Amino acid sequence: MIVLRHCQSEFNRLFTATRKDPGISDPPLSRHGLRQADELVMRLADRNIRRIVVSPYTRALQTAAPIARALGIVPTVSPIIRERAAFSCDIGSPRSKLALDWPALDFTDLDEIWWSQGEESPESVEQRAALFRAEMAANPDWKHTLVVTHWAFLLAFAHTSVENGSWLEIDPRVPLPAV
């Protein structure tokens, strides 16, 4: 499967420049991030993607949207692959707002407030990543799945740091090496 870190968000743009939390909850993609997302359509065109699983954060949904549109796939929204709650950007949008902003997607399995309240421990993210890895390993379509997620989740899931708009190819059946 392909595990993709969302493209550059406004939070990422400002945080990279200042190293300070800019106080933006559920930030959208920056202009650069929108270009990155459009470029991913061509970069992933030959990957035989048949399923897209996406985090409910706006930046992840915006990253997945052009790919899903080009492939004619309706993404599955999954809060298990959300970012670790540590910054202002990790406060999401309520389910009701997401449903209005993204009417083609199904948010019925999401709680109204689906993100972590307060800072989330690295162990909690590791547990979510292990659960998702097991779910994907049991899914016969894992080889044809694109997962659009976040830095800390990817770190827990693959033990690797990934830049905005970059991805890893992962076999979820292969255990991770010990850290």
Give the DSSP H/E element, type plus range, for residue 16. helix 10-18
First to last CA, the chain: 22
| pLDDT tens digits for range 104-126 | 999 999 999 999 999 999 999 99
Contact 51, 43 (CB under 8 A): no
| pLDDT tens digits for range 142-162 | 999 999 999 999 999 999 999
In a domain, 147, yes or no: yes
Contact 86, 152 (CB under 8 A): yes
Q: Taking 90 as the threshold, does the pLDDT of residue 102 lie above it?
A: yes
In a domain, 175, yes or no: no
In a domain, 156, yes or no: yes
In a domain, 178, yes or no: no
In a domain, 90, yes or no: yes
Structure confidence at residue 177 as a pLDDT band (50, 70, 90): confident
Contact 138, 1 (CB under 8 A): no
- The boundaries of the domain holding residue 162 are 2-169
What is the domain-level CATH number for residue 147? 3.40.50.1240
Q: Taking 70 as the threshold, does the pLDDT of residue 179 lie above it?
A: no
In a domain, 58, yes or no: yes
d(CA 87, CA 177): 28
Q: Into how many domains does the chain fold?
A: 1
